[in-house]
Chain A
Amino acid sequence: DAKTTQPPSMDCAEGRAANLPCNHSTISGNEYVYWYRQIHSQGPQYIIHGLKNNETNEMASLIITEDRKSSTLILPHATLRDTAVYYCIVLRLGNEKLTFGTGTRLTIIP
C-alpha cells in the first residue's frame, strides 16, 4: 500500500474549521484513503474514507485532489474534544493490514 506523509502537529482554534493535509503521491487506482483518529487513552476511531470523490459524513469531510496524490480532512467546527492524533492511511480494498503512520497531532485551542 502507498505511503502517506502528514505534518507532525497542528493547532486550530475552537469553532474554526480544522484542515488536516495528507500526501499520498504513490497511491494506486484501487487504493482508498482512510482517516482514523485516536483520542488520548482510547482506541483509534474510524472517521471517513474515499476513493476519488469528495465524501462527507456527520464527523468530517474528505477532499481528494483530482490526481489523488493528496487529500484533506476537514472538521468543520472543531471542538476541544477533537484534540487527537489523526491518521491518514492508504489501503487497497480487501487488504487486512491496516498500517498506521505517525499521524498529525491536532490540538484545539480554546
Chain B
Amino acid sequence: DTEVTQTPKHLVMGMTNKKSLKCEQHMGHRAMYWYKQKAKKPPELMFVYSYEKLSINESVPSRFSPECPNSSLLNLHLHALQPEDSALYLCASSQQGQYNEKLFFGSGTQLSVL
C-alpha cells in the first residue's frame, strides 16, 4: 500500500464554521506534511510532523491547527477561515531516516471558503 488518503476530496465552508481535513497512510512512514496550493502556484509547506511531534510550522496562522494523533493519521483543523484560504490542501508522508527522503502525496482536499 503506497497510498496517502485524504478526506474529504472537496469541502465548502463558511467563515464561522469549524471543519477538519484528514490524512491517512499505512506505509509506516514517520514524517507527515501539510502543504497548501493556490491555483496555478506551486505547493507551499505549512507543517511537518516528525515521529508524531510538530517539527516545522511555517508561520501558519492559528486558524489552521494541525494534529497528529498517531503515526498513521494527520489532521488539519480549520476555524474562522477567510476566503483567501480557499486552496488545495495536500498531505504527504515520508519514511524519515532513509537517505532518499521521497515524499508520497495524497490527491488533496479542495477547500472553498465562502
Contact = CB atoms under 8 A, between A and B. Distances in A.
B104 A99 contact: no
B43 interface: yes
B43 A100 contact: yes
Given A43-B4, A43-B107, A101-B42, A93 B56 contact: no
B2 to A, nearest CB: 10
Contact of B108 (A43, A93, A99): A43
Among A36, A49, A96, which residue has the most Cβ atoms of chain B within 10 A? A96
Contact of B90 (A43, A94, A97): A43
A44 interface: yes
A46 B104 contact: yes
Interface residues of A, number: 24
Interface of B: 4, 31, 33, 42-45, 48, 50, 55-56, 90, 92, 96, 99-108
Interface of A: 34, 36, 38, 41-46, 49, 85, 87, 91, 93-103
Q: Lowest 7 A-B CB distances belong to which pairs?
A: A43-B105, A100-B42, A46-B102, A96-B48, A44-B105, A43-B90, A100-B43
Given A46-B103, A96-B96, A101-B42, 17 more contacts: A36-B103, A42-B108, A43-B105, A43-B107, A43-B108, A44-B92, A87-B42, A91-B101, A93-B101, A94-B101, A95-B101, A96-B56, A96-B101, A98-B101, A98-B103, A100-B42, A100-B43
7 contacts: A42-B107, A42-B108, A43-B108, A46-B102, A49-B102, A91-B101, A95-B101
